[in-house]
Amino acid sequence: MLRAACRSTVANGERAVWIDTAGTIVGAFWENGPYLVQPKSRQDALKGAEELLRCGGFALVVLDGTEPEGTEMVRLTRAVREGGGAFVAITPNPSLAKLRMESKIIPHSYRWTRGPFDDPVEVQEATIRVRARAAGWNAHADITVPVTPHDVRLSLEPGLADRRGLPR
């Protein structure tokens, strides 16, 4: 959903940046539009986040893979206030956050397409329970979202054209 927020930000004519410290973003599933920053260390991630927040050019900054602590969070909060953008940190320690959100996929909510022997083949969608909390407010919602099918390539050698299935 954060990635959807980034896309929505860009579609609205503003800039969004995703700071991927752990390098978990899969290139094949990344859509151009938001900026993607892959810092080499935790410190670089925090410094980059602060700079991007403070410049005021980004409406949304997402920090993934780095959990700011203590004074780091205070510093980032000041940068947010200075730049006027939105900052989302994916962390279990959301101190100083105006809005805290947690989400969890409901285990038995997956909907599968099944094969001829009733075995699961492809996940179609899943339901996420999202809980949001702010000062004096607490709410939750269940959202059903599709699952991006992953692309398993079975070509024996990379670079070779896969002509299987073509009429001879």
- Tell me which residues in 101-140 interact with other proteins (CB under 8 A): 101, 104-110, 112, 119-123, 126, 130, 132, 134-137, 139-140
* 77 secondary structure, DSSP code: H
Pairing of strands 35-37, 16-20: parallel
Interaction residues for other proteins, span 46-85 (CB under 8 A) = 47-48, 51-52, 54-60, 80-81, 84-85
Question: Of residues 8-27, which lie at the interface with other proteins (CB under 8 A)?
Answer: 8-15, 22-27
Options 92, 116, 157, 163; binder of other proteins; rule CB under 8 A:
157
96 binds other proteins, rule: CB under 8 A: no
Confirm if 70 and 96 have CB atoms less than 8 A apart.
Answer: no
Of 14 and 72, CB closest to other proteins? 14
Number of residues that bind other proteins (CB under 8 A): 94
For residue 52, the one-letter residue type is L
Residues in contact with 159: Cβ distance below 8 Å, sequence separation at least 6, in sequence order: none
CA distance 22 to 63: 10
State the Cα–Cα distance between residues 77 and 86, nearest whole angstrom: 10
Please select the residue that binds other proteins; options are 71, 116, 118, 156, rule is CB under 8 A. 156
Of 115, 126, 122, 51, whose CA–CA distance to 87 is shortest? Answer: 51
- Residues 27-46 close enough to bind other proteins by CB under 8 A: 27-30, 32-40, 44
- From the CB of 86, what's the least distance to other proteins, in Å? 5
